[in-house]
Amino acid sequence: MENKDIVKIAVMTAGAAVILGGSLYAAYRYSLAKQGDIVLPGGTTYLGATPTGRVQPSTPPLRFTADATVPYKEHSGAIYPFSFSFPETLPLVVFTNDPTDSVAIAWGNIPPQQNILLNMELIEIREKTMVNKPKQEYVENWWKYFSGLKNVASVVPFTNIFGLKGYKASYVNYANTAPNVDVFFEVPGRNDLMIHMANGILDAAIFDRIVDSLKWTAATPTP
């Protein structure tokens, strides 16, 4: 009788363990089915040791490059319907509850917060009066929102292969140099938004390819 009880308990325990283990495995599979982006908390907080990329820079100056054979994959905005292609070796991260829907690069021992590849320009917040002005004027004056810049060097309008109208700009800093390329895209049907992309540490060919791949995939109603 006692033996029977022990067997019964053992079978039930084993059964319970299997069900619990199965539940955990199902939960694990379910988590894998969810989009697995790197998501960092908003604001200034602790992220552990400075993040490093899988592919480490070997020599200064820091410049991310990728072989032509590296496949490209797609990234889509969490809030806004933009998408672009990027080399799969380029480590991109996003931030929680970020109204600018920024996409940052976590590479080369630079904190991602200082290495933004793309962000939405919320013009109304930057300067309300700019909302209804020509977008080129906004781009020409963009440097005024940053204490490290002192003038605009050039603004060149262009259109990417998906028909998005953009401006390639460079700005003069207080060292009297214009080291970066900033690209701004107009958003169809939205006066209050622009898409801003910065080349940062990216090799020019890669940055150009990313810029060219940018799409706005839905008509967005004006708020």
Edge-to-edge strands of the sheet including 72-76?
72-76, 82-87, 215-216
Helices (H), 69-158: 123-126, 135-141
- Kindly tell me which residue out of 66, 90, 92, 93 binds other proteins, with binding defined by CB under 8 A: 93
Question: Counting contacts by CB under 8 A, is residue 10 touching other proteins?
Answer: no
> Do 143 and 152 meet the contact criterion of CB atoms below 8 Å apart?
yes
Residue 93 or 139: the one with the smaller Cβ distance to other proteins is 93
Question: Counting contacts by CB under 8 A, is residue 151 touching other proteins?
Answer: no
Nearest distance from C-beta of residue 19 to other proteins, angstroms:
6
DSSP labels, 181-195: -EEEEEETTEEEEEE
Q: Is 47 helix (H, G, I), strand (E, B) or coil?
A: coil
Residue 2 or 46: the one with the smaller Cβ distance to other proteins is 46
Residue 33 or 219: the one with the smaller Cβ distance to other proteins is 33
CB under 8 A: which stretch of 36-44, 56-64, 135-143, 201-209 binds other proteins? Answer: 36-44
In terms of Cα–Cα distance, which of 194, 216, 191, 186 is closest to 84?
Answer: 216
- The Cα 25–Cα 107 span in angstroms is 33
One-letter amino acid identity for 150? K
In terms of Cα–Cα distance, which of 126, 169, 173, 168 is closest to 150?
Answer: 173
Question: Counting contacts by CB under 8 A, is residue 132 touching other proteins?
Answer: no
- Kindly tell me which residue out of 11, 14, 18, 38 binds other proteins, with binding defined by CB under 8 A: 38
Nearest distance from C-beta of residue 26 to other proteins, angstroms:
5
Helix or strand run (H / E) with residue 4:
helix 2-33
Residues 102-121 interacting with other proteins (rule: CB under 8 A): 106
Place of tokens 């992220």: 47
Question: Counting contacts by CB under 8 A, is residue 96 touching other proteins?
Answer: yes
- Kindly tell me which residue out of 6, 9, 18, 39 binds other proteins, with binding defined by CB under 8 A: 39
Place of tokens 């806004």: 80
Residue 49 or 219: the one with the smaller Cβ distance to other proteins is 49
List of residues contacting other proteins (CB under 8 A) = 16, 19-20, 23-24, 26-32, 34-49, 51-52, 54, 91, 93, 96-97, 106
